[in-house]
Amino acid sequence: MSLLIVGTVATDDIVTPFASVEGVLGGSAVYAATAGSLYCPVQIVGVIGEDFPESYLAYLQEREFDLEGLEVQAGKTFHWAGKYHFDMNTRDTLATELNVLASFDPTLPAGYGSTPYVFLANVDPVVQLRALDQMKKPRMTVLDTMNYWIETQREDLTAVVRRTDLVMINDEELRQYTQEHSLLRAARAMLALGPRALIVKKGEHGAALVTQEGYYYAPGYPLEDVVDPTGAGDSFAGGFLGYIAQQGHVSARELHRALIHGSVVASFTVEAFSIDRLKDVTAADIRARYREFAAFTHFESLD
């Protein structure tokens, strides 16, 4: 089944302790869609400016994304610049030029409203709400967000949370939003708002999936070198929800397997800047790394 992704399409400047790039293809929708398309058809709802590079548009077209919901507006494309610290787990935002994103008001093409799986990637909660308002009853709606929206638009964000099936958020942002130091207590506070499940992202340490009944864990994949963590969370989400859309149902079993698929896909993303590695991932790559996860995660039960 299809996956609808609402998010940003951007050009990024990225600085790490080891290398830098300028104007590379980025944005939450681009990472999530590239990951999701490894599993199912993907529709992108977003906006680009007239300056959006031809080669990047060509990639989106060749990847066979449904781009009917990708608006082109007068002005410049959303631009983000960030610098990573030595540990590659924390970063400073150097620039956030909203440009055409500032006035973005999504209008979903006819037919998008019945897409069964929806990922509201990191973008203004008001934009996420506007998109949700145009959806009929999706089977599963997943929300991602960040500290900026928690600090500046908490009420709008909470309104989206209440209409979401699964929330993805990193551990510090979850503590910030709920004011609970215990991640488990914080998770339960978030679930009390309505979502059926929560995924707590822990950067290189992995991710935990918490529901009212259960708890599941996916460690991070041990990489010799992380080239660029940008897009890890978005591609994790794309892999997670793409796998579920491919399966077409959502059992606890599938949720845990989807969690591993998300970790697998994200581990490829960070091996290169932009989507340079992610776009070339094959089904065989995924199967091989999924098996590696099983090998270092599983242990023998008690005699």
- Per the structure block, which two tokens stand in for 255? 């949720």
Of the listed pieces 100-108, 109-117, 130-138, 217-225, which binds its own copies according to CB under 8 A? 217-225
Considering only residues 94 to 113 of the shown chain, the ones binding its own copies according to CB under 8 A are none
Site track for its own copies across 244-283, x = CB under 8 A? ---------x--xx-xx-----------------------
118 φ, ψ (degrees, to nearest 5): -130, 130
CA separation for the pair 259, 202 (Å, rounded): 13
What number of H helices and E strands is found in the chain? 10, 13
From 223, 248, 249, 280, residue interacting with its own copies (rule: CB under 8 A): 223
As to burial, measured by CB atoms within 10 angstroms (0-12 exposed, 13-18 middle, 19+ buried), residue 204 is: middle
CB of 145 to its own copies, least distance (A): 20
In the block, tokens 């440009």 appear at 99
Q: Does position 199 bind its own copies by CB under 8 A? A: no
Q: Are 128 and 104 in contact (CB under 8 A)?
A: no
For 277, the token pair is 């590695």
**Minimum CB distance to its own copies, residue 65 (Å):** 26
Q: Which positions from 167 to 196 touch its own copies by CB under 8 A, shown as an x/- string?
A: --------x-----xxxxx-----------
Q: Smallest distance, Å, CB 4 to its own copies? A: 26
DSSP string, 45-78: EEEEETT--HHHHHHHHHTT-B-TTEEEESSPPP
Shortest Cβ distance from residue 285 to its own copies (Å)?
13
Q: Determine the residue type at 163.
A: R
Q: Which is nearer to its own copies, 101 or 190 (CB)?
A: 190
Question: Residue 215, exposed/middle/buried by CB under 10 A (0-12, 13-18, 19+)?
Answer: exposed
CB of 265 to its own copies, least distance (A): 15
Using CB under 8 A, list all residues that contact its own copies: 17, 86-88, 175, 181-185, 202, 204-206, 208, 210, 214-219, 222-226, 253, 256-257, 259-260, 287, 290-291, 294, 296-302
